[in-house]
Chain A
Amino acid sequence: MQFESVIGLEIHVQLATRSKIFSGAATAFGADPNTQACPVDLGLPGVLPVLNREAVRMALTFGLAIDGEIAPTCRFDRKNYFYPDLPKGYQISQFEQPIVGRGKITLESAGGTDKARTIGITRAHLEEDAGKSLHDAFAGLTGVDLNRAGTPLLEVVSDPDLRTPEEAAAFFREMHVLVRTLRICDGNLNEGSMRCDANISVRPVGASELGERTEIKNLNSFRFVERALRHEIERQVDVLESGGQVERETRLYDAERDETRSMRGKELSDDYRYFPDPDLLPVRITPDLLQEARAHLPELPWAKRARYVDDLGLTDYAARALVSDPDTAAFFDAILDSGADARLAANWVMDHVAAMLNRHETDIAQCPVSATQVARLIGRIEDGTISNTAAKTVFDAMWEEGGDIDAIIDAKGLRQMRDTDELARIVARIVDQHPEQVAELRAGKTRLLGFFVGQVMRETRGKADPRQVNALLKQTLGAP
């Protein structure tokens, strides 16, 4: 029997506010344990939550980006459960009235096919993050670090519209690009800035009813989403094919062992006893607040990709690569704004700029060579002043020491030869000096053309335009 899988994702997006969702404590990652937790985060007796306006604004910007429904009011509820890293014994979340209702995003080429697929988003709601339990830090004991407690989260819940592990990963990836483009999340997966849980069931192809589902927690990379879901599909299919039944349960993905294992079964399914948090008033989404959120909407990833492909003539691959990192896309756009050719600019950003950033382990926002300088450098390639190779030398020099492009070109003697007669004389001389090779080439050993190009380039110390050298050689040697 053939099976198909039905997948829905819940993605927790840590909002990049400076302070926490209900307190003034900082949200920065990596501080010493419990140094960024104020009385409100610690849940001390008598403290009260006060909603962070910026978290609301960010959630609204997200809602607008996914074309989500935004009701005139939303509300916060208490979700009750005991856990050592949950200081109040309840989490402030949104249950009945989320800030963002039904929306959608379209995956342009999901799961390796070229067919666009629209994935429904059930809702997105604001909530506070819990702290962290550190099980390995103290022998026989569990440590609790409450720095993360109260960090704002936007929990995005997809409809069960995803059909393959690849598609699920593509959805996660697209959300990752979106929240970073919206500047509402730093997207650092290894710091837990985005965390993903998946609900998955399988059913015979053609069946209309859904199978029993399991929830897989802790899928914190695109690769893990894909791998864990693939494993879980296999496991569920095995269970069904051997005549068993899939049990509703929560499973944890263990990346080291590359497997999922049962966390808790449905007999322990929780009753969170949600009720409206009496410490917080209902939030009115005023037209002013919505306008402010709209003003923060940048060009959205899908619109940007369409522009790169349709207007600039970039390949789909290039568009996807550039847009996948909003800082890179911004850098690229800034190069274009300075008048550079789009395809050259794209190649530069993805090739040499990326290589240098990689080598220096930095990111493009910290690139010492500005987009304007790159644009001018590309201009020097376009006007024939320097070769592409020479431009890389200039770029590296600017990276290391800064300085004026033309001054560097002159100082390093990189200016391309523009005197065709002079070049023709050099070509003729090289040809004369290598009669044997000329004979072999004429006899059909065409790869020797490269030898001649190399000789000419050496003679001109790289200043000749290789295209011109090629043309002149072919002309002189009568090669095909």
Chain B
Amino acid sequence: MNAHESIAELRRGLLDKRYSAVELTEHCLAEIDTSASLNCFITVARDEAVAAAKAADAAIARGEAGPLTGVPLAHKDVFCTEGVRTTCGSRMLANFIAPYDATVVSKLAAAGAVCLGKTNMDEFAMGSSNETSWFGPARNPWDPERAPGGSSGGSAAAVSAGLVPCATGTDTGGSIRQPAAFCGVTGLKPTYGRVSRYGMVAFASSLDQGGAFARDADDVATLLKIMEGHDPRDSTSTDTGPTAFRGPEPMTIGLPAEYWDNLDAAMGARLEAATRELEAAGHALTTLSLPHTRAAVSAYYVIASAEASANLSRYDGVRFGYRAEASEDIDELYRRSRAEGFGAEVKRRILTGTYALSIGYYDAYYLQAQRVRRLIRQDFLDAFNRVDVIAAPVTPSVAFELGAVTDPVDMYRQDAFTIPASLSGLPAMSMPCGMLDRLPVGLQLIAPHFEEGRILNLAAQYQRRTDWHRRHPDISIDAGSRAEREGADAV
């Protein structure tokens, strides 16, 4: 029994009574304790987890096991959980306990999952390294000196380190795919509208989408099946019916020049090896162009920041969250609560967004960014007339060292390959496809709207032919000797 096993394997173990849900939960909780230095969790919900595990064992005993009964899981701390604090990685919400569960949380609980706690993240999901978290960064289990990626870094690291077999995340501009790539796990950002946003603390409402991390594409599919569907409490969630977990056979895979040209040579070599493997599986490769790609990062930071500037106005110290005490009047209460409650990156984006929406700048920034967004989306729609899926890098490099990227704009550029699909509302995933400098490399697969089935299917085929997704860091030994042991540097 260990959480490096897949959901499917653990489920078999539970149903065959090789171990109980309580035992599995206790094991994972112990792993979380042992790995406390990775800082994957902001809150460990020990008592709640054991209680849920007991209920799972009872359900198994009655023969009423659901699809996830007894399977441990962690939620990114952006999802509201009734009774367990939801901090969003911010001092502002360090003591906030929601009076309700997010739809994603209640759906996974109804399927029998045992929630172990809430994972670390960049503050309000704004960041690509986990370093903006008020609780300090989660660390990359492959090398604790390196970033796990962000914003869903805690979830990706927890799955990678074997603390849980699966975890939820959210992706606004790459916040599931980039940490999945950095930590060597499989992560999916579904189509915008596929998964309800109710109870997900908002960053940029037109981009935020809940998704999942797991060992492999099959497990991600299992989670998506439970998480997806129209929610009457989220007007932007869609009712397109359940995901069909299949695609055309064979598929034509498009390789956009704007992503593949100018890649770091070693990175490019590993990614190309992955696409050749897909070719070997019978699929066709073709190059194509997504001409507006280079404008995506700028457009994204205008739109996401504009929406964030309004979404974060509710944190004013009046009703909940951090409040600066002993303020003289309401304006001082606002000013100080927000000055003290928010970190620098959050403030930067609130300022950027406020500026972009102001009289005299709205047309030049916000509206212009929306025009760019439409062009980028149209690029993809045109491309999908020719190809079934698109394959691309997730990140320009493997996981960088904590503290290495200091300029905010350099940090924003980390998301250059993930942002276009976000702006277009497309489903996209990252799957492990090799190692470079003893660190994982991820390949991004992008599908047309509501065609998650295609990329999950393609990834599953790849994962049957390779074992990159099976590799995991050995967190029981220190970093130096790990390098010796892993040696998994080969393509």
Contacts and interface: CB of A to CB of B under 8 A. Distances in A.
Q: Say which size band chain A's interface belongs to.
A: 20 to 34
B233 A278 contact: no
Contact of B198 (A43, A48, A144, A280): A48
B202 interface: yes
A51 B232 CA distance: 10
Contacts of A302: none
Interface in A39-62: 39, 42-51
A48 B314 contact: no
A45 B357 contact: no
A90 B313 contact: yes
A279 B319 contact: no
A402 interface: no
Q: Say which size band chain B's interface belongs to.
A: 35 or more
B354 A279 contact: no
A279 B80 CA distance: 18
B245 interface: no
Nearest to B92: A45
Contact of B98 (A45, A50, A278): A45
A46 B354 contact: no
B80 A82 contact: no
B306 A275 contact: yes
Contacts of A78: 310
Residue among B100, B232, B234, B318 having the largest count of chain A Cβ atoms under 10 Å: B318
A466 interface: no
Interface stretch (B275-283, B288-296, B358-366): B358-366
A80 B354 CA distance: 10
A8 interface: no
A392 to B, nearest CB: 56
Nearest to B238: A281
Given A275-B366, A279-B235, A80 B80 contact: no
Nearest to A281: B235
B86 A279 contact: no
B102 A273 contact: no
Contacts of B202: 45-46, 279
A48 to B, nearest CB: 5
A78 B307 CA distance: 10
A101 interface: no
A402 to B, nearest CB: 47
B405 to A, nearest CB: 28
A84 interface: yes
B314 A46 contact: no
Interface string A77-100: 010101010011110000000000
Contact of B314 (A87, A271, A274): A87
B98 A46 contact: yes
Contact of B359 (A44, A47, A271): A271
A82 B354 CA distance: 13
Contact of B102 (A46, A271, A281): A46
Contact of A84 (B99, B233, B318, B362): B318
B80 A90 contact: no
A46 B316 contact: no
B339 interface: no
B314 A80 contact: no
B269 interface: no
Residue among A87, A89, A142 having the largest count of chain B Cβ atoms under 10 Å: A89
Interface in B357-378: 357-359, 362, 366
A80 B310 CA distance: 7
B433 interface: no
B206 interface: yes
B89 interface: no
A128 B330 CA distance: 23
B313 A82 contact: yes
A427 B362 CA distance: 92
B354 A273 contact: yes
B200 A46 contact: yes
B88 A45 contact: yes
A90 B235 contact: no
A78 B205 CA distance: 12
Nearest to A88: B314
Given A278-B307, A279-B205, A42 B198 contact: no
Interface string A271-312: 101110111110000000000000000000000000000000
Contacts of B200: 46
B353 to A, nearest CB: 9
B80 A46 contact: yes
A275 B365 CA distance: 12
A271 B356 CA distance: 12
Interface string B219-262: 00000000000001111100000000000000000000000000
B165 interface: no
A44 B205 contact: no
Nearest to A275: B357
Contacts of A80: 309-310, 313, 357
B425 to A, nearest CB: 12
Nearest to B205: A278
B310 A90 contact: yes
Contacts of A142: 330
Nearest to A24: B233
Interface string B299-330: 00000001101101110101110000000001
Contacts of B232: 50
A463 to B, nearest CB: 68
A145 B36 CA distance: 43
Interface of A: 39, 42-51, 78, 80, 82, 84, 87-90, 142, 144, 271, 273-275, 277-281
28 contacts: A39-B100, A42-B320, A44-B98, A44-B99, A45-B80, A45-B202, A45-B314, A46-B86, A46-B98, A46-B102, A46-B198, A46-B200, A46-B201, A47-B199, A48-B234, A48-B236, A50-B232, A78-B310, A89-B312, A89-B314, A144-B318, A273-B309, A273-B310, A274-B357, A275-B306, A277-B205, A278-B205, A279-B235
Given A273-B354, A273-B358, A275-B366, 20 more contacts: A42-B320, A43-B319, A45-B80, A45-B96, A46-B102, A46-B199, A49-B235, A84-B318, A88-B314, A89-B310, A89-B313, A89-B314, A90-B310, A271-B359, A275-B307, A275-B310, A278-B206, A278-B307, A279-B236, A280-B235
In order of increasing CB-CB distance, the 8 nearest A-B pairs are: A89-B313, A278-B206, A273-B357, A278-B205, A45-B201, A46-B199, A43-B314, A46-B80
